[in-house]
Chains A and B, each alone.
Chain A
Amino acid sequence: MNLNQLLPTAALLSVLTVVSGCSPRVEVAVPNEPITINLNVKIEHEILVKVDREIDDLLSENSDIF
């Protein structure tokens, strides 16, 4: 029952894999990467903005030690 239901999907998937493997369009996986990179940059940028804000405060309040 279960196996019967899975079988067409599995067949389809394997065919797709083979087909996409044969096709010259290797770019299929590429769109995933820029998204992760952008996320990382965004997080780092937010942290940097927070840190920079604190640094601005320090610089204006403690001119004697900087």
Chain B
Amino acid sequence: MTKLRKILTVFALAFSLFSVPAWAISMDDAKAKGLIGEQVNGYLGYVKSPSSSVRAMVEAINNKRRAAYNKGAKNAGVERNVFEIRMGQRLQDRVPPGQYIQLQNGNWQRK
């Protein structure tokens, strides 16, 4: 009985390791907590100096974004930087009040 319980505990622990989400913190959580925000260039940036998990999450998302922007720019027939500038505008427009956007001068502003 106790042995079974031990085995079950070990299994539960093992499963809990695997069930941890891909990122210790989600993008939405980090945005809501004011850790990250939208830059003018269409990519996420750090409002505060990031922990390693926030950094990993942001880098992975920005890489995915870059690939998406490449595709979008190609479809629209423009350079990627043109696409990024417009994307930055669009994404910053969508940022809800209370979250951060980075201004042209590099300062962060709470919307």
Q: Which of B61, B82, B86 sits near A65, CB closer than 8 Å?
A: B61
Asked if B91 CB lies within 8 Å of chain A CBs, one says: yes
Question: Which A residues touch B69, using CB under 8 A?
Answer: 58
Q: Which of A47, A58, A62, A66 sits near B78, CB closer than 8 Å?
A: A47
Q: Is the interface of A mostly helix, strand, loop or mixed?
A: helix
B76 near A53 with CB under 8 A, answer: yes
B78 near A50 with CB under 8 A, answer: yes
CB contact under 8 A between A54 and B72, given known A47-B78, A48-B86, A66-B91: yes
Closest Cβ of chain A to B10, distance in Å, is: 33
B interface residues with partner A (beta carbon < 8 Å): 27, 61, 64-65, 68-69, 72-73, 75-78, 82-83, 86-87, 90-91, 94
A interface residues with partner B (beta carbon < 8 Å): 47-48, 50-55, 57-59, 62, 64-66
